[in-house]
């Protein structure tokens, strides 16, 4: 299955490996910062594509004894990531699973972390994807969504377009993304405003996008 505005798995993997590294570093650093004081548990990467993010996390000492699930609606994307996982001997640590971000195949309160990058904009029911993320988190668990802003600065968008072009990848479809205010409105509509923060850095490559950080409260 090839979703709207997505390239085939092999092309996406090449793009992710060659052009997204600066964002991988930011996303992985943020996840490890949030996980540092947590007990090992299960982490799902929603819309994982070829599982670049779980592979990076599994190599990080902060994630010793964690288990990872790479979830994607498109099995061909997951299949594109399997050889790398096998090559690194990570099959017992990273499970790849077909599933929908809007109807997560996990029990309530079963995961320590749920992360998702560059996937929210693909989802017809964005609100449900946020309530699903919250549902599967254990108390004290953390949800993290990073995605590109539609209201990105033209200069940064041009820089991203050039980085994509350098590896033969077409410009992004910026019109399908949400703005920072729309992301805030989604979180409020999902009833998660009290336990979430929606932010975007003012400078650097991170300013291309926004972050939704959800902290599921511990019982009182």
Ligand X SMILES: C[S@@+](CC[C@H](N)C(=O)[O-])C[C@H]1O[C@@H](n2cnc3c(N)ncnc32)[C@H](O)[C@@H]1O
Provide the binding-site residues for ligand X, judged by CB under 6 A: 3, 6, 16, 20, 46-49, 52, 72-74, 77, 100-102, 117-119, 122-123
Give Dmax (Cα) for the chain. 52
Which residues sit opposite 46 in a β-bridge? 71
Residue nearest to ligand X (CB): 47
Task: Report in angstroms how near the CB of residue 20 gets to ligand X at its nearest.
Answer: 6
Closer of 140 and 200 to ligand X (Cβ): 200
Closer of 124 and 154 to ligand X (Cβ): 124
Task: Report in angstroms how near the CB of residue 98 gets to ligand X at its nearest.
Answer: 9
Closer of 29 and 193 to ligand X (Cβ): 29
Contact call for residues 164 and 148 (beta carbons, < 8 A): no
Closer of 102 and 200 to ligand X (Cβ): 102
Closer of 128 and 159 to ligand X (Cβ): 128
Closest-CA residue to 172 (of 211, 115, 102, 121): 121
Q: 115 to each of 20, 71, 132, 183, 220, how far by Cα in Å?
A: 17, 10, 12, 16, 25
Q: Which two tokens stand for residue 46?
A: 């929603």
Task: Report in angstroms how near the CB of residue 13 gets to ligand X at its nearest.
Answer: 9
Task: Report in angstroms how near the CB of residue 78 gets to ligand X at its nearest.
Answer: 8
Task: Report in angstroms how near the CB of residue 147 gets to ligand X at its nearest.
Answer: 9
């Amino acid at each position: 299955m090839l979703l709207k505005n997505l390239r085939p798995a092999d092309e996406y993997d090449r793009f992710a490996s060659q052009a997204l590294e600066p964002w991988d570093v930011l996303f992985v650093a943020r996840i490890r910062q949030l996980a540092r004081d947590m007990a090992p548990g299960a982490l799902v990467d929603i819309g994982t594509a070829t599982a670049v993010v779980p592979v990076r996390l599994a190599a990080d000492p902060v994630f010793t004894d964690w288990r990872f699930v790479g979830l994607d609606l498109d099995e061909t994307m997951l299949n594109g990531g399997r050889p790398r996982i096998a090559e690194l001997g990570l099959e017992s640590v990273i499970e790849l699973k077909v599933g929908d971000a809007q109807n997560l195949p996990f029990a309530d309160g079963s995961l320590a972390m749920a992360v998702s990058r560059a996937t929210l904009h693909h989802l017809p029911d964005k609100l449900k994807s946020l309530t699903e993320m919250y549902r599967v988190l254990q108390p004290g668990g953390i949800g993290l969504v990073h995605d590109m802003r539609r209201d990105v600065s033209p200069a940064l968008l041009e820089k991203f377009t050039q980085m994509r072009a350098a590896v033969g990848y077409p410009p992004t479809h910026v019109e399908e993304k949400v703005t920072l205010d729309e992301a805030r409105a989604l979180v409020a509509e999902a009833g998660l405003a009290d336990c979430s923060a929606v932010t975007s850095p003012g400078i650097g490559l991170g300013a291309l996008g926004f972050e939704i950080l959800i902290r599921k409260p511990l019982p009182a």
